[in-house]
Structure 1
Amino acid sequence: MGLTRNLLVSTVTVLLTVTLAVNACPPSDRAALLAFRAALNEPYLGIFNTWSGSDCCTNWYGVSCDPETKRVADIILRGESEDPIIENAGRSGYMTGSISPSLCQLDRLTTLVVADWKDISGEIPSCLSSLPNLRILDLIGNKISGQIPADIGQLSKLTVLNLADNQISGLIPSSIVNLNSLMHLELSNNKISGEIPSEIGKLSMMSRALLSRNQLTGPIPSSIANIYRLADLDLSMNQITGSIPAQIGSMPVLSTLNLDNNLLSGEIPTGLLANSGLNILNLSHNSLEGNLPDVFGSKTYFTAIDLSYNNLRGSIPKSLSSAKYIGHLDLSHNHLCGPIPTGSPFDHLEASSFANNDCLCGMPLRTC
C-alpha cells in the first residue's frame, strides 16, 4: 500500500513538473531577460524583485508571453505611469545602465517599451533591427545616445517608433522610409542632424510625425504631402531651409502643422490658410515673406495661427472677419501695414497680436 502511494505521489510530481515546464517560458528567453536586467539598475521601486523563479511568463513585472507558444512577446516598463507600484511609491521611476543586446534573442518580441526612466544611457542595440515581429519600439525619456540603427527599415511590422527626449545623434537612416506599417514617428528633442529623407512620403500609413527640437537641415521634402493619413506634423526648432511645399496645403487630414523656429523663406502657400481641416498652424520665427493670402471664409476654423517674427508685408486680409472661428492669432513682428479689420476675431485679440509691425492701425492699436 505504501509503495503504491509513493509511486502515485512520484507520478503526480513528475506530471506537475512536466506541466509547469511546458507552461513556462523557455530557458533561453529567461536568460535573455536576466541579461537585460543585469545591465540596468533600478534603485527605488524594486520592480525587478519580481523577476525570479523559472517561469518568466508569470508575475514578472512588465513581461508578458504569447499564451500558446510561451515565448516572451511584450516588455513594457514605464517610469511614469499609473501602475500601483509607481503610484504607491509617490515618485516617478529612475533607472541607470543601458539596454542590453541580449533582447535581440527574444525573436518573438512584439513590444519593447523602456520609457521615462531618465538616466538609461548607452546606444540602441543595432540588432533590434533583426526582430521580425517588433511592432512597438518606445524608448522615450532616457539619455540614450549614438545613432538610430541603420537597418531600422527592416522592421516591416513596426507601427510605433518613439525615441524622443534622448541624446540620439547622427542622421535619420534612409532605410526608415521602408517602414510600411509605421503610424507614429516621434524623434523630438534629440541631436539628430542632416536632412529629412526625401522619400519620406512612402510612409503612407503614418498619422503623426514629430521631429521637433533637433538639428535637421535642408528642405521639407515635398513627398510629405503624399502621406494622406498624416494629421500631426511637427518640424519646429530645427534649421530647415527653403520654402514650404505648396502641396502640404492640400493634405486632407492635416490638423496640426508646426514649422516654427526654422530658416524657412518664400511665401506662405495659399492652400495652407485655405485648408478647412487645418486647426493649428505655427510658422513663427522664420523668414517668410510676401503678403498674407486673402483666402479665409465661412469654413475657416483655427484654434491658433501664429505667423509672428517673419517678413510678411501688405495688409491683414479682410476675409479673416468671415472665418467661422479663430481662437488665437499672432501677426506681431512683421512688416504689415494698414487698418486692422473689425469684427470677429479682432474684437477679442490683444495689442500684442499686432505689435511691432510697420504701420498697422485700428483697434486694439492706435486709431487710423
Structure 2
Amino acid sequence: MSRLTFVICLFAAAFVALAAGCPASDREALLAFKASLNEPYLGIFQTWSGTDCCRNWYGISCNPTDQRVADINLRGESEDPIFLKAGRSGGYMTGSISPSICNLDRLTTIIIADWKAISGDIPNCVTSLPSLRVLDLVGNRLSGRIPPAIGNLRKLTVLNLADNDLTGDIPPSIVQMSSLMHLDLRSNRISGQIPSDFGKLTMLSRALLGRNQLTGTIPSSIATIYRLADLDLSMNRIGGCIPEQLGEMPVLSTLNLDCNAISGQIPGSLLSNTGIGILNLSRNSLEGSIPDVFGPKSYFMALDLSHNNLKGKIPGTLTGAKYIGHLDLSHNHLCGPIPIGEPFERLEASSFDSNDCLCGNPLRTC
C-alpha cells in the first residue's frame, strides 16, 4: 500500500467514525447512568435522545478523533441558557451515580456537582478509568467511603468531593496520585489521620480538608510540598504541635488550622514567613508567648490567634509590619500595654477582649 493510499484510508475511516457518531456501547452506558437519576425542573436529560450522544446531549463531549465520550460535565449551578430558560440559577437532582459510568473507559472529566440530593456511594470502579483527570462531585449527598484504590488515578489533577456526607478515612493510596494539584474534601465526616507520607503529593497546590473529623497530628511531610499555597485543616480534631517546617514553605499563602486541639507553641517561622497572608490558629490550645518576629515585609490580610492560652505581651514588632488587616488576639492570657501605632490605632476592643491584663487604646488606659 502506497503512503497516499494509506492516508486516504485513514481519512475515510475517520469520516466513517464521525458519521456514525458515538459507539452504541457509550450511548448505552450513558442511558444506564441517566436511568439512576431524576432531574425534574430543567429537563436536561430530555436532550439525551437520538443515536449520536456526541451531538446535542447536554453536558456530554466526545473525543473528535474517535467519537468516544470524553467528558461528563453536569453542574447544578450554572448560567447556561437551559437554566435561564427555566428561570433558575441552580438545579436539583436525586438518585445515585450508576457504576455504568465506568463503562465509558475514555473519560477524562467527570463533573456531577452541586445537585444537592444525589446520594449513595461513589462507585469504586471509577478508579479503573485510566485517562481520568478531573473528578468533581462537590455539593451532593454522597455517602460511604472514598474508594480505597483512588490512588490508581495517576493522571488525576482535580479531586473535589467537598460538601457531601462521606465517612471513613483518607485512603492511604491517595499519596500515589502523582499528578494531583487540587484536593478538596471539606465538609464531610471523614475521620482517621492524614497519611504520614502526604508529602508525596508533590504537585499539590491546594489541600482543603477542613470541617471533617480528622484526628492525629499534622504530618511534617506536608512541608515538602513545594507548590502548596493553600492548606486548610480547620474544624477537625487534630492535636499535637504545629511542625516548625510549615513556616519554611516557600509558596504557602493561606494556612487555616482553627478549631482543633493543637497544643505547644506557635513556631516563629510561621509569623516571620513573608509569604503567608492569611493565618488562622484560633480555638486551639496553643501556649507560650507570641513570637516577636514581625518585620517590614510582614503582610497579613488576616491574623487570628484568638481563643488559645497565649501569655506575655503583644509583640511590639507588629507596629513595623508592612500591613496587618484583621488581627484578633482575644480570649487569651495576654498582659501589658497594647503597642502604639499601626495597626492598633484602628482596631476595635473586640480584637483584645477577654485577656488577663491588657491595657491601652482601645481598652482602658494603663
TM-score w.r.t. length of structure 2: 0.95
- Corresponding position of 1:38: 35
In structure 1, what is the Cα distance between the partners aligned to 2:351 and 2:20? 65
Q: Secondary structure at the match of 1:288?
A: strand
- Please list, as runs of the form range in 1=range in 2, the aligned pairs for 1:82-101 lying within 5 A after superposition: 82-91=79-88, 92-101=90-99
Q: Which of 307, 330, 351 is residue 332 of structure 1 equivalent to? A: 330
Stretches of structure 2 lacking an aligned partner (at least 5 in a row): 1-11
Is 1:177 paired with 2:175? yes
> For each residue in 1:180-203, what CA deviation from the matched residue of structure 2 results, as whole angstroms up to 9, or x when unmatched?
000000000000000001111000
In structure 1, what is the Cα distance between the partners aligned to 2:144 and 2:52? 34
> For each residue in 1:67-107, what CA deviation from the matched residue of structure 2 results, as whole angstroms up to 9, or x when unmatched?
00100000000000111111232221100000000011111
In structure 1, what is the Cα distance between the partners aligned to 2:354 and 2:215? 29
- Corresponding position of 1:51: 48
- Corresponding position of 1:252: 250
In structure 1, what is the Cα distance between the partners aligned to 2:32 and 2:173? 29
- Corresponding position of 2:286: 288
Is 1:144 paired with 2:134? no
The code of the aligned residue for 2:73 comes to: I
In structure 2, what is the Cα distance between the partners aligned to 1:336 and 1:21? 72
Contact 2:210/2:236, CA 8 A, preserved across alignment: yes
The code of the aligned residue for 2:175 comes to: V
Query: What CA RMSD, in Å, does the superposition of the two structures yield over aligned residues?
Result: 1.1
- Corresponding position of 2:9: none
Is 1:263 paired with 2:261? yes
In structure 2, what is the Cα distance between the partners aligned to 1:304 and 1:48? 45
- Corresponding position of 1:358: 356
What is the count of residue pairs matched by the alignment?
352
In structure 2, what is the Cα distance between the partners aligned to 1:43 and 1:188? 28
- Corresponding position of 1:207: 205
Taking every aligned residue pair, what percent have the same amino acid on both sides? Answer: 71
The code of the aligned residue for 2:329 comes to: L
In structure 1, what is the Cα distance between the partners aligned to 2:249 and 2:140? 34
The code of the aligned residue for 2:95 comes to: G
Is 1:155 paired with 2:164? no
Q: Secondary structure at the match of 1:169?
A: coil
Q: Which of 64, 77, 83 is residue 74 of structure 2 equivalent to? A: 77
In structure 1, what is the Cα distance between the partners aligned to 2:85 and 2:265? 54
In structure 2, what is the Cα distance between the partners aligned to 1:88 and 1:362? 59
Distance 1:335 1:53, change over 3 A: same
In structure 2, what is the Cα distance between the partners aligned to 1:245 and 1:348? 33
Contact 2:17/2:67, CA 8 A, preserved across alignment: no
The code of the aligned residue for 2:271 comes to: L
In structure 1, what is the Cα distance between the partners aligned to 2:333 and 2:230? 29
> For each residue in 1:267-326, what CA deviation from the matched residue of structure 2 results, as whole angstroms up to 9, or x when unmatched?
000000000000000000000000000000000000000000000000000000000000
- Corresponding position of 1:10: none
In structure 2, what is the Cα distance between the partners aligned to 1:282 and 1:223? 20
In structure 1, what is the Cα distance between the partners aligned to 2:228 and 2:104? 32
Q: Which of 185, 188, 191 is residue 189 of structure 2 equivalent to? A: 191
In structure 1, what is the Cα distance between the partners aligned to 2:16 and 2:148? 43
- Please list, as runs of the form range in 1=range in 2, the aligned pairs for 1:313-332 lying within 5 A after superposition: 313-332=311-330
Q: CA deviation at 1:121?
A: 0.2
Q: CA deviation at 1:23?
A: 4.0
TM-score w.r.t. length of structure 1: 0.94
Q: CA deviation at 1:60?
A: 0.3
In structure 1, what is the Cα distance between the partners aligned to 2:180 and 2:238? 23
- Corresponding position of 1:223: 221
> For each residue in 1:184-236, what CA deviation from the matched residue of structure 2 results, as whole angstroms up to 9, or x when unmatched?
00000000000001111000000000011000000000000011100000000
- Corresponding position of 1:275: 273
Distance 1:58 1:347, change over 3 A: same
In structure 1, what is the Cα distance between the partners aligned to 2:277 and 2:158? 24
In structure 1, what is the Cα distance between the partners aligned to 2:265 and 2:97? 46
